[in-house]
Amino acid sequence: SDLGGPVPTWRYYYRARPTGLPPLDKLLKLLLWLLCQRRGLRAVRRHWAGARPDLVHAHVLVRPVALAWWLRRRHGTPYVLTEHQTALLPTNAIQISRFRRWLVGRLVRGAAASLPVSADLGRALAALGGPHPHTVVVPNVVDTELFHLPTAPNSRFGLLHVAAFNERAKNLSGLLRTVARLRAQHPDLPGLHLRVAGYGPAEATLHRLAQQLGLLADGTVAFLGKLTSAQVAAEMRRAACFVLFSNYENLPCVLIEAQASGLPAVATRVGGVPELLPDSALGLLVPPGDEAALGAALCTLLAAPAGHFDAARLRARAVALYSYPAVGRAFGAVYARILGR
């Protein structure tokens, strides 16, 4: 527990694979989760001298919102929900069962307010049977104190990619192939060096691909592995361009972190990404999977004259829309309406 900060917080941890037997682990993790929720609710009530919460804010369907729904039924406590999952986007919704669709719709409609992190995700929730009259887009939040402008802006150089190594979603292989083609076709292109931060199931495969493309021997690509948030922030201050070639996204925090660091981006026109890059002064959008368009956009950005992308404007937008105070005010306005305060 952390009771000394501005928001009292209780965290509970349990093993991801208690026995190593998937069917048994699934049941055990559900029971452990329910036990943690029960302990957490009791801890909250003790902290507030027995008082029940006025409002519950649940994140991510289905379990947390189902618990919030039960608390509303049992004690009359209203709840709001924030949804982040790419699993609910049209690209992936085909895998959602009929019962789960019904349940999502029921839980969304039962909330006092639905707070998707992007307008695109709000539309996806509505398509799953969850239209809500009090839908308010409240975006993801980033630490704009940790992610900030570099002290020496003229030292920025190269490309940066930060993501999990999940090929179905992130398509890092497409980015590697594009960088290899650019190196062959435009050997004098300034800043054609890609630093890749992240890890995941496709890590070994992507390392082999970079090796086969000849990108590792001359340092055109460097794999950085798993980084802390502070290390990612430092990488964003040294790069000249952030690149994310995803097949699907919701509202990726890495693009917001790049914006808070004054870093322009090249990204795919998927999910909520166009909401983050609504005009070309902030970055360039390309169709998903279009490696030729990605290459052209990277050439445009890397060859842009100094000052073409206004780092101060990029940061100002991130602070105004995605900082802790900005997102906190948005949540506070929703809470006040529900509680009549």
The C-alpha atoms of residue 160 and residue 194 are separated, in whole angstroms, by 6
**107 backbone dihedrals φ, ψ, rounded to 5°:** -70, -40
> pLDDT, tens digit, for every residue of 222-232?
999 999 999 99
Residue 137 belongs to a domain: yes
Q: How confident is the model at residue 155 (pLDDT cuts 50, 70, 90)?
A: confident
* Per-residue pLDDT at 42: 94
Q: Are 98 and 121 members of one domain?
A: yes
Residues in the chain: 341
* Per-residue pLDDT at 4: 84
Residue 235 belongs to a domain: yes
Q: Are 309 and 178 members of one domain?
A: yes
Q: Are 173 and 313 members of one domain?
A: yes
Residue 146 belongs to a domain: no
* Per-residue pLDDT at 143: 97
> pLDDT, tens digit, for every residue of 54-75?
999 999 999 999 999 999 999 9
Q: Are 104 and 131 members of one domain?
A: yes
Per the structure block, which two tokens stand in for 295? 């290459």
Domain interval for residue 191: 153-321
Q: Are 169 and 303 members of one domain?
A: yes
Following DSSP, what letter does each residue of 222-281 receive, concatenated? EEEES--HHHHHHHHHH-SEEEE--S--SS-HHHHHHHHTT--EEEES-TTHHHH--STT
Q: Are 311 and 190 members of one domain?
A: yes
Where a domain ends, among 51, 66, 90?
A: 51
Q: Are 184 and 258 members of one domain?
A: yes
Question: Is the pLDDT score of 341 beyond 80?
Answer: no
Q: Are 99 and 21 members of one domain?
A: no
**209 backbone dihedrals φ, ψ, rounded to 5°:** -60, -45
Question: Is the pLDDT score of 199 beyond 90?
Answer: yes
Cis before 62 (ω within 30): yes
> pLDDT, tens digit, for every residue of 157-185?
999 999 999 999 999 999 999 999 999 99
User: Cβ distance 47 to 3 under 8 Å?
Assistant: yes
Q: Are 75 and 160 members of one domain?
A: no
Mean pLDDT, the chain, as a whole number? 94
Question: Is the pLDDT score of 149 beyond 90?
Answer: yes
The C-alpha atoms of residue 198 and residue 78 are separated, in whole angstroms, by 38
> pLDDT, tens digit, for every residue of 72-86?
999 999 999 999 988
> pLDDT, tens digit, for every residue of 279-324?
999 999 999 999 999 999 999 999 998 888 999 999 999 999 999 9
Arithmetic mean of pLDDT, 117-134: 89
Q: Are 32 and 177 members of one domain?
A: no
Count of domains observed in the chain: 3
User: Cβ distance 237 to 149 under 8 Å?
Assistant: yes
* Per-residue pLDDT at 83: 92
The pairing of strands 194-197 and 221-225 is parallel
What CATH number is given to the structural domain containing 285?
Answer: 3.40.50.2000
Burial letters 102-140, b for 16+ CB under 10 A, else e: ebbbebbebbbbbbbbbebbbebbbebebebeebbbbbb
Q: In what order do the strands lie in the sheet with 221-225?
A: 221-225, 194-197, 159-162, 241-244, 265-268, 283-286
**CB neighbourhood size of 244 (10 A):** 24
The C-alpha atoms of residue 338 and residue 80 are separated, in whole angstroms, by 9
Q: Which residues pair with 241 in a beta bridge?
A: 159
Residue 90 belongs to a domain: yes
